[in-house]
Structure 1
Amino acid sequence: MMTYIKHIPVLIFLLLTAAPGQAQSPSTPQAEKLFKGIWVDKKTTRHLEISFENGYATIIDWTSKLQKRESGDIYKAFLRNGKLVMPEDTEFHAPYSEIISKNNTLIYLTKPIITKKTSRWDKQIFTRSSKL
Protein backbone atom coordinates (compact mmCIF):
# COMPACT_ATOMS: atom_id res chain seq x y z
CA MET A 1 0.00 0.00 0.00
CA MET A 2 2.79 2.45 0.86
CA THR A 3 4.36 1.84 -2.55
CA TYR A 4 1.20 3.13 -4.28
CA ILE A 5 0.74 6.08 -1.94
CA LYS A 6 4.18 7.54 -2.66
CA HIS A 7 3.34 7.59 -6.40
CA ILE A 8 0.09 9.54 -6.01
CA PRO A 9 1.71 13.00 -6.37
CA VAL A 10 3.40 11.83 -9.59
CA LEU A 11 0.11 10.46 -10.92
CA ILE A 12 -1.71 13.68 -10.11
CA PHE A 13 1.00 15.70 -11.84
CA LEU A 14 0.83 13.50 -14.94
CA LEU A 15 -2.96 13.70 -15.07
CA LEU A 16 -2.95 17.48 -14.76
CA THR A 17 -0.27 18.06 -17.38
CA ALA A 18 -1.76 15.54 -19.80
CA ALA A 19 -5.27 17.01 -19.58
CA PRO A 20 -6.21 18.77 -22.79
CA GLY A 21 -6.51 22.54 -22.67
CA GLN A 22 -9.66 24.38 -23.48
CA ALA A 23 -10.89 23.66 -26.96
CA GLN A 24 -11.90 27.26 -27.29
CA SER A 25 -10.46 30.52 -26.18
CA PRO A 26 -12.60 33.35 -24.91
CA SER A 27 -13.39 36.19 -27.26
CA THR A 28 -11.10 39.15 -27.05
CA PRO A 29 -11.68 42.79 -27.91
CA GLN A 30 -9.40 42.27 -30.94
CA ALA A 31 -11.45 39.30 -32.19
CA GLU A 32 -14.68 41.21 -31.66
CA LYS A 33 -13.26 44.14 -33.62
CA LEU A 34 -12.32 41.82 -36.51
CA PHE A 35 -15.49 39.71 -36.69
CA LYS A 36 -18.40 41.45 -34.94
CA GLY A 37 -21.06 43.07 -37.11
CA ILE A 38 -23.09 42.45 -40.24
CA TRP A 39 -21.31 41.12 -43.31
CA VAL A 40 -22.57 40.60 -46.86
CA ASP A 41 -21.58 38.77 -50.02
CA LYS A 42 -23.14 41.12 -52.58
CA LYS A 43 -23.03 38.52 -55.38
CA THR A 44 -25.27 36.07 -53.52
CA THR A 45 -26.99 38.49 -51.06
CA ARG A 46 -25.89 36.16 -48.26
CA HIS A 47 -25.53 37.95 -44.94
CA LEU A 48 -23.78 37.07 -41.69
CA GLU A 49 -24.41 38.80 -38.38
CA ILE A 50 -21.72 37.94 -35.86
CA SER A 51 -21.91 38.70 -32.14
CA PHE A 52 -20.00 37.41 -29.11
CA GLU A 53 -21.13 36.18 -25.70
CA ASN A 54 -20.00 33.63 -23.11
CA GLY A 55 -16.77 32.78 -24.94
CA TYR A 56 -18.28 31.96 -28.32
CA ALA A 57 -19.64 33.71 -31.39
CA THR A 58 -23.22 33.51 -32.55
CA ILE A 59 -23.66 33.72 -36.31
CA ILE A 60 -27.00 34.46 -37.96
CA ASP A 61 -26.84 33.47 -41.64
CA TRP A 62 -29.48 34.49 -44.19
CA THR A 63 -29.89 35.32 -47.88
CA SER A 64 -31.82 38.57 -48.27
CA LYS A 65 -33.15 37.65 -51.72
CA LEU A 66 -35.01 34.70 -50.19
CA GLN A 67 -35.54 35.40 -46.51
CA LYS A 68 -35.47 37.90 -43.67
CA ARG A 69 -32.86 37.99 -40.93
CA GLU A 70 -35.39 36.61 -38.44
CA SER A 71 -35.71 33.37 -40.43
CA GLY A 72 -31.97 32.86 -40.91
CA ASP A 73 -29.93 29.93 -39.62
CA ILE A 74 -28.07 30.35 -36.33
CA TYR A 75 -24.65 28.83 -35.71
CA LYS A 76 -22.24 28.75 -32.80
CA ALA A 77 -18.54 29.32 -33.54
CA PHE A 78 -15.48 29.17 -31.32
CA LEU A 79 -12.40 31.36 -31.54
CA ARG A 80 -9.38 29.17 -32.29
CA ASN A 81 -6.01 30.36 -33.53
CA GLY A 82 -7.39 33.74 -34.62
CA LYS A 83 -10.30 32.36 -36.65
CA LEU A 84 -13.90 31.38 -35.96
CA VAL A 85 -14.43 27.62 -36.16
CA MET A 86 -17.74 25.82 -36.52
CA PRO A 87 -17.32 22.09 -35.89
CA GLU A 88 -19.06 19.59 -38.12
CA ASP A 89 -22.52 18.63 -36.88
CA THR A 90 -23.54 15.32 -38.41
CA GLU A 91 -26.98 15.39 -36.77
CA PHE A 92 -27.95 18.52 -38.72
CA HIS A 93 -25.69 17.82 -41.73
CA ALA A 94 -23.62 20.94 -41.09
CA PRO A 95 -20.07 20.78 -42.48
CA TYR A 96 -16.91 21.91 -40.71
CA SER A 97 -16.38 25.62 -41.41
CA GLU A 98 -13.90 28.36 -40.61
CA ILE A 99 -14.16 32.14 -40.88
CA ILE A 100 -10.95 34.11 -41.31
CA SER A 101 -10.61 37.89 -41.15
CA LYS A 102 -8.26 39.32 -43.77
CA ASN A 103 -7.92 42.88 -45.09
CA ASN A 104 -11.34 44.04 -43.79
CA THR A 105 -13.08 41.06 -45.37
CA LEU A 106 -14.23 37.70 -44.05
CA ILE A 107 -13.27 34.52 -45.82
CA TYR A 108 -15.83 31.81 -45.09
CA LEU A 109 -14.34 28.37 -45.75
CA THR A 110 -16.49 25.24 -45.72
CA LYS A 111 -15.28 21.66 -45.96
CA PRO A 112 -18.02 19.85 -47.89
CA ILE A 113 -19.14 16.66 -46.16
CA ILE A 114 -19.18 14.71 -49.45
CA THR A 115 -15.54 15.51 -50.26
CA LYS A 116 -14.29 15.00 -46.71
CA LYS A 117 -11.29 12.97 -47.86
CA THR A 118 -10.04 15.60 -50.30
CA SER A 119 -8.48 18.96 -49.58
CA ARG A 120 -11.14 20.97 -51.46
CA TRP A 121 -12.81 23.85 -49.59
CA ASP A 122 -15.75 26.01 -50.63
CA LYS A 123 -14.86 29.69 -50.24
CA GLN A 124 -17.04 32.78 -49.96
CA ILE A 125 -15.91 36.38 -49.39
CA PHE A 126 -17.88 38.86 -47.25
CA THR A 127 -17.48 42.59 -46.76
CA ARG A 128 -18.82 44.71 -43.94
CA SER A 129 -22.38 45.82 -44.54
CA SER A 130 -23.25 49.49 -44.21
CA LYS A 131 -26.68 48.49 -42.87
CA LEU A 132 -26.99 48.11 -39.12
Structure 2
Amino acid sequence: MIRPFDRSRFAILVVEDEPLLLLDALDMVEDAGFTAYGASNADEAIRLLERHDDIRVLFTDVDMPGSMDGLRLAHAVRDRWPPMGIIVASGHIRVKAEELPENGMFFPKPYLPSIVAKTLHTIAERLAA
Protein backbone atom coordinates (compact mmCIF):
# COMPACT_ATOMS: atom_id res chain seq x y z
CA MET A 1 0.00 0.00 0.00
CA ILE A 2 1.30 3.46 -0.93
CA ARG A 3 1.11 5.89 1.95
CA PRO A 4 -0.22 9.37 1.15
CA PHE A 5 2.33 12.18 1.09
CA ASP A 6 2.20 14.37 4.24
CA ARG A 7 2.89 17.99 3.19
CA SER A 8 3.03 19.16 6.82
CA ARG A 9 6.29 17.21 7.26
CA PHE A 10 7.82 18.93 4.25
CA ALA A 11 9.12 22.42 5.06
CA ILE A 12 9.71 25.40 2.83
CA LEU A 13 12.29 28.06 3.74
CA VAL A 14 11.20 31.52 2.57
CA VAL A 15 13.94 34.17 2.40
CA GLU A 16 12.70 37.74 1.96
CA ASP A 17 14.07 40.94 3.50
CA GLU A 18 10.79 42.90 3.27
CA PRO A 19 8.84 41.95 6.46
CA LEU A 20 5.33 42.21 4.97
CA LEU A 21 6.31 40.24 1.86
CA LEU A 22 7.91 37.60 4.10
CA LEU A 23 4.72 37.27 6.16
CA ASP A 24 2.60 37.03 3.00
CA ALA A 25 4.87 34.33 1.54
CA LEU A 26 4.88 32.37 4.82
CA ASP A 27 1.07 32.48 4.89
CA MET A 28 0.96 31.31 1.26
CA VAL A 29 3.24 28.34 2.05
CA GLU A 30 1.23 27.38 5.13
CA ASP A 31 -2.07 27.77 3.26
CA ALA A 32 -0.67 25.28 0.72
CA GLY A 33 -0.28 22.78 3.58
CA PHE A 34 3.46 23.00 4.18
CA THR A 35 5.51 23.86 7.23
CA ALA A 36 7.13 27.28 6.70
CA TYR A 37 10.30 28.85 8.04
CA GLY A 38 11.24 32.45 7.34
CA ALA A 39 14.55 34.29 7.10
CA SER A 40 15.33 37.89 6.22
CA ASN A 41 18.80 37.27 4.79
CA ALA A 42 21.13 34.53 3.55
CA ASP A 43 23.03 34.11 6.80
CA GLU A 44 19.82 33.51 8.73
CA ALA A 45 18.69 31.10 6.00
CA ILE A 46 21.86 29.01 6.25
CA ARG A 47 21.48 28.81 10.05
CA LEU A 48 17.89 27.56 9.63
CA LEU A 49 18.96 24.99 7.02
CA GLU A 50 21.61 23.68 9.41
CA ARG A 51 19.05 23.31 12.22
CA HIS A 52 16.00 21.95 10.39
CA ASP A 53 16.41 18.79 8.33
CA ASP A 54 12.76 18.92 7.23
CA ILE A 55 13.42 21.88 4.88
CA ARG A 56 13.14 20.59 1.31
CA VAL A 57 12.60 23.78 -0.72
CA LEU A 58 14.32 27.16 -0.71
CA PHE A 59 12.08 30.02 -1.91
CA THR A 60 14.22 33.14 -2.01
CA ASP A 61 14.09 36.71 -3.20
CA VAL A 62 17.14 37.88 -5.17
CA ASP A 63 17.64 41.36 -3.73
CA MET A 64 18.72 41.13 -0.08
CA PRO A 65 21.21 42.83 2.18
CA GLY A 66 23.94 40.82 3.86
CA SER A 67 26.76 38.51 2.88
CA MET A 68 25.08 37.28 -0.33
CA ASP A 69 22.05 37.91 -2.47
CA GLY A 70 19.36 35.31 -3.14
CA LEU A 71 20.95 34.02 -6.33
CA ARG A 72 24.27 33.36 -4.59
CA LEU A 73 22.31 31.77 -1.72
CA ALA A 74 20.52 29.49 -4.19
CA HIS A 75 23.86 28.29 -5.60
CA ALA A 76 25.33 27.81 -2.11
CA VAL A 77 22.28 25.76 -1.07
CA ARG A 78 22.47 23.65 -4.26
CA ASP A 79 26.15 22.90 -3.52
CA ARG A 80 25.60 22.03 0.15
CA TRP A 81 22.13 20.42 0.00
CA PRO A 82 21.91 19.00 -3.56
CA PRO A 83 18.40 17.51 -3.46
CA MET A 84 16.86 20.81 -2.31
CA GLY A 85 14.14 22.32 -4.51
CA ILE A 86 14.99 25.93 -5.36
CA ILE A 87 12.73 28.79 -6.39
CA VAL A 88 14.15 32.28 -6.94
CA ALA A 89 11.91 35.35 -7.21
CA SER A 90 12.50 38.99 -8.06
CA GLY A 91 10.51 42.04 -8.94
CA HIS A 92 13.55 43.98 -10.11
CA ILE A 93 15.51 41.68 -12.40
CA ARG A 94 14.82 38.75 -14.70
CA VAL A 95 17.00 35.79 -13.84
CA LYS A 96 17.97 33.75 -16.88
CA ALA A 97 17.86 29.94 -16.75
CA GLU A 98 21.65 29.70 -17.08
CA GLU A 99 22.06 31.91 -13.97
CA LEU A 100 20.01 29.53 -11.81
CA PRO A 101 21.39 26.49 -10.02
CA GLU A 102 20.58 23.13 -11.59
CA ASN A 103 16.81 22.48 -11.52
CA GLY A 104 16.20 25.96 -10.08
CA MET A 105 13.09 27.90 -11.06
CA PHE A 106 12.46 31.63 -11.40
CA PHE A 107 9.24 33.53 -10.63
CA PRO A 108 8.91 37.22 -11.48
CA LYS A 109 7.16 39.33 -8.85
CA PRO A 110 4.35 39.79 -8.38
CA TYR A 111 3.74 36.07 -8.67
CA LEU A 112 0.41 34.32 -8.36
CA PRO A 113 0.21 32.44 -5.05
CA SER A 114 -1.78 29.64 -6.71
CA ILE A 115 1.03 29.05 -9.24
CA VAL A 116 3.69 29.03 -6.51
CA ALA A 117 1.59 26.63 -4.40
CA LYS A 118 1.12 24.30 -7.37
CA THR A 119 4.87 24.41 -8.04
CA LEU A 120 5.62 23.62 -4.38
CA HIS A 121 3.29 20.61 -4.55
CA THR A 122 5.00 19.41 -7.74
CA ILE A 123 8.47 19.76 -6.21
CA ALA A 124 7.32 18.02 -3.00
CA GLU A 125 5.85 15.08 -4.88
CA ARG A 126 9.01 14.73 -7.00
CA LEU A 127 11.31 14.85 -3.95
CA ALA A 128 9.11 12.44 -1.96
CA ALA A 129 9.13 9.82 -4.73
Q: TM-score normalised to the size of structure 1?
A: 0.31
**Which of structures 1 and 2 has the bigger CA Rg?**
1
Higher relative contact order (CA 8 A, sep 6+): 2
More strand by share: 1
